[in-house]
């Protein structure tokens, strides 16, 4: 840690900022990285140190940290009309245009969109919509939400209840009626001798059993990320969505795709659901929706839910829900530009999704190479996101002892080398910006390899 002068940025950060999702002993020892600006895929701290941000901020800064078109779109909209709401029969022209664009992009016809400020709020909004619908349709018991262990859906009281992580116990969460099924991670959850196909079938049977046990008339939705992100980048086992969707359909339970990380190109397709080969009944979007240049989330309802909700709302004439900044005109203008940058190509540049597709095989080759290391148990991923799982013993997949904090040490060593990557459990996660070029890909894997070698030499001798 740099010398702790009372007026240093590190000391000032610690004095008055309350840290979330931060390992405090590690930050006390190492100091806070106070970032002042970005250059493409890099961020720069108050000491002038540059870091290749292989996590795109928090999976969201997909166009990098100094995209001129996105900043210009925000500036132009600030100059034109800097803020408005979407209440009382009023909304901005940008909001109308973004909803049209999202409806055209959605993997279903006749979508309807509701805006929030974050992914968490979008999940809360979805659940409130479903609870509203259940009561309006005379089925007030239809309130339970099915998700998976290890899934991440946010931090508000409802979305944290959807999240399948044990750390929420400190808040006395989950709330009642949030049920977490087995994580579809074959490598970790598969039983000895069980094939991947058998594993998928077991999870589908579990779903059917839980629905039958709870009563299908009590379940409002099944919500899933196509590829789990903050759970440690976990693509589901082969055929997972194809196995569970018919069960949900049979019981009349909507399948909602939480596309907060996967949406808008991360997997190489527009939606993670496209990549995984299923059509959801609704989508939760955020992050790359604005390329991280404005806080925004959205619930995108498919035609059946949208129609039913419309009928229910018409009956009482109002849906009593919304945020002050829902459909903020600057956010919508930025989102329209971000979608153009990612999917259409803007200002003479190729669409960023083309680069995701071009770089995916390079990324996979780099991951596969590092996965040969004797202390990497598996690599997994999809498109431009992936994880390397550290193990004490490769054959048995036995993890390192928790107190060794192996993934944190790898991530800290990477930070020292000028690379930001994220420890998640015993995995190290990479989720680079869509603009990454070949040289930066080499830099990322080169630095990570150095960090892996150093840390494994320390912990495994
Ligand atoms: N869903 C998923 C899949 C996420 O990854 C996240 C955030 N990482 C959220 C929801 C919550 O989004 P936010 O942090 O914007 O509330």
Probe ligand 1: pick from 145, 152, 162, max atoms within 8 Å of CB? 152
- What is residue 1's predicted lDDT score, i.e. its pLDDT? 47
* Cα Rg of the chain (Å, integer): 22
DSSP string, 334-365: HHHHHHIIIII--TTPPPHHHHHHHHHHHHHH
Cα 6 to ligand 1 centre (Å) = 35
Pick the atom of ligand 1 nearest to 225's CA: 3
Is the distance from the beta carbon of residue 124 to the nearest atom of ligand 1 less than 6 Å? no
- Fill in the DSSP letter of residue 163: S
- Fill in the DSSP letter of residue 373: S
Q: Is the pTM of this model over 0.95?
A: yes
DSSP string, 290-316: GTTSS--EEEEE-HHHHHHHHHHHHHH
- What is residue 303's predicted lDDT score, i.e. its pLDDT? 98
Is the distance from the beta carbon of residue 258 to the nearest atom of ligand 1 less than 6 Å? yes
Task: Summarize pLDDT for 27-82 with one digit per residue, the tens.
Answer: 999 999 999 999 999 999 999 999 999 999 999 999 999 999 999 999 999 999 99
- Fill in the DSSP letter of residue 171: G
Cα 290 to ligand 1 centre (Å) = 14
Nearest Cα to Cα of residue 57 among 355, 295, 353, 388: 295
Cα 119 to ligand 1 centre (Å) = 5
User: How crowded is the C-beta side of 209, counted as CA atoms within 13 Å?
Assistant: 8
Cα 157 to ligand 1 centre (Å) = 13
Probe ligand 1: pick from 154, 159, 280, 385, max atoms within 8 Å of CB? 154
Start and end residues for every CATH 3.90.1150.10 domain found in the chain: 33-66+351-460
Cα 191 to ligand 1 centre (Å) = 30
Pick the atom of ligand 1 nearest to 259's CA: 3
- What is residue 3's predicted lDDT score, i.e. its pLDDT? 53
Query: In whole angstroms, what is the distance from residue 218 CA to residue 214 CA?
Result: 7
Class of domain 70-344: alpha beta
Task: Summarize pLDDT for 234-293 with one digit per residue, the tens.
Answer: 999 999 999 999 999 999 999 999 999 999 999 999 999 999 999 999 999 999 999 999
Output the residue whose Cα is nearest ligand 1's atom 7. 154
- What is residue 4's predicted lDDT score, i.e. its pLDDT? 54
Probe ligand 1: pick from 120, 160, 227, max atoms within 8 Å of CB? 120
Query: In whole angstroms, what is the distance from residue 300 CA to residue 285 CA?
Result: 8
Is the distance from the beta carbon of residue 294 to the nearest atom of ligand 1 less than 6 Å? no
Is the distance from the beta carbon of residue 116 to the nearest atom of ligand 1 less than 6 Å? no
Probe ligand 1: pick from 286, 290, 331, max atoms within 8 Å of CB? 286
ipTM, 2 decimals? Answer: 0.99
3-state helix, strand, coil in the chain (%, to 5): 45, 15, 40
Is the distance from the beta carbon of residue 269 to the nearest atom of ligand 1 less than 6 Å? no
Task: Give the Å distances, CA to CA, from 118 to 174, 214, 319, 323, 325.
Answer: 20, 31, 20, 11, 11
Is the distance from the beta carbon of residue 225 to the nearest atom of ligand 1 less than 6 Å? yes
Q: Kindly provide the residue ranges of all beta strands, DSSP E only, lying in 16-111, ordered along the sequence.
A: 35-39, 42-45, 50-53
CATH domain 33-66+351-460 topology: 3.90.1150
- What is residue 7's predicted lDDT score, i.e. its pLDDT? 86
- What is residue 460's predicted lDDT score, i.e. its pLDDT? 83
Start and end residues for every CATH 3.40.640.10 domain found in the chain: 70-344
Task: Give the Å distances, CA to CA, from 7 to 27, 30, 31, 175.
Answer: 17, 16, 13, 43
Long-range CB contact pairs, 314-323, < 8 A, 24+ = 315/136, 316/136, 319/129, 319/132, 321/125, 321/128, 321/129, 321/132, 322/85, 322/86, 322/87, 322/114, 323/115, 323/116, 323/117, 323/121
**What residues in the chain have per-residue pLDDT under 70?**
1-5, 461
């Amino acid at each position: 840690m740099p010398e702790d002068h009372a007026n240093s940025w590190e000391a000032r950060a610690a004095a008055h900022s309350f840290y979330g999702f931060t390992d405090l002993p590690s930050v006390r020892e190492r100091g806070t990285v106070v970032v002042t600006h970005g250059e493409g895929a890099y961020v720069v701290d108050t000491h002038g140190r540059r870091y290749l941000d292989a996590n795109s901020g928090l999976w969201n800064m997909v166009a990098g940290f100094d995209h001129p078109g996105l900043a210009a779109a925000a500036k132009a909209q600030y100059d034109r009309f800097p803020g408005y709401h979407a209440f009382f029969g009023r909304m901005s022209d940008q909001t109308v245009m973004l909803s049209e664009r999202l409806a055209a992009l959605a993997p279903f016809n006749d979508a309807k969109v509701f805006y929030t400020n974050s992914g968490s709020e979008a999940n809360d909004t979805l659940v409130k919509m479903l609870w509203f619908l259940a009561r309006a349709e005379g089925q007030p018991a239809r309130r339970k939400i099915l998700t998976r262990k290890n899934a991440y859906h946010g931090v508000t009281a409802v979305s944290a209840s959807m999240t399948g992580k044990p750390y929420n116990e400190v808040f006395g969460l989950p709330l009642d009626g949030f049920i977490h099924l087995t994580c579809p991670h074959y490598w970790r959850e598969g039983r000895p001798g069980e094939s991947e196909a058998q594993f998928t079938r077991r999870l589908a049977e579990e779903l059917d059993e839980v629905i039958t046990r709870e009563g299908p008339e009590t379940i409002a939705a099944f919500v899933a990320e196509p590829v789990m992100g903050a759970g440690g980048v976990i693509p589901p086992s082969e055929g997972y969505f194809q196995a569970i969707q018919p069960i949900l359909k049979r019981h009349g339970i909507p399948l909602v795709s939480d596309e907060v990380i996967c949406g808008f190109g991360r997997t190489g397709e527009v939606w993670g659901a496209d990549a995984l080969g299923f059509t959801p009944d609704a989508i939760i979007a955020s992050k790359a929706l604005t390329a991280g240049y404005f806080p925004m989330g959205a619930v995108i309802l498919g035609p059946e839910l949208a129609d039913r909700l419309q009928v229910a709302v018409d009956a009482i004439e109002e849906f009593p829900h919304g945020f002050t900044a829902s459909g903020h005109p600057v956010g919508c203008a930025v989102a329209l530009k971000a979608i153009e940058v990612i999917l259409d190509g803007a200002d003479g540049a190729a669409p960023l999704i083309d680069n995701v597709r071009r770089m995916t095989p390079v990324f996979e080759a780099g991951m596969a190479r590092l996965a040969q290391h004797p202390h990497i148990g598996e690599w997994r991923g999809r498109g431009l996101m992936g994880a390397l799982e550290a193990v004490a013993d490769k054959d048995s997949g036995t993890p390192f002892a928790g107190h060794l904090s192996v993934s944190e040490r790898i991530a800290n060593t990477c930070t020292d080398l000028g690379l930001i990557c994220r420890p998640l459990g015993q995995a190290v996660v990479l989720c680079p910006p869509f603009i990454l070029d070949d040289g930066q890909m080499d830099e990322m894997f080169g630095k990570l390899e150095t960090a892996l070698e150093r840390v494994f030499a320390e912990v495994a001798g």
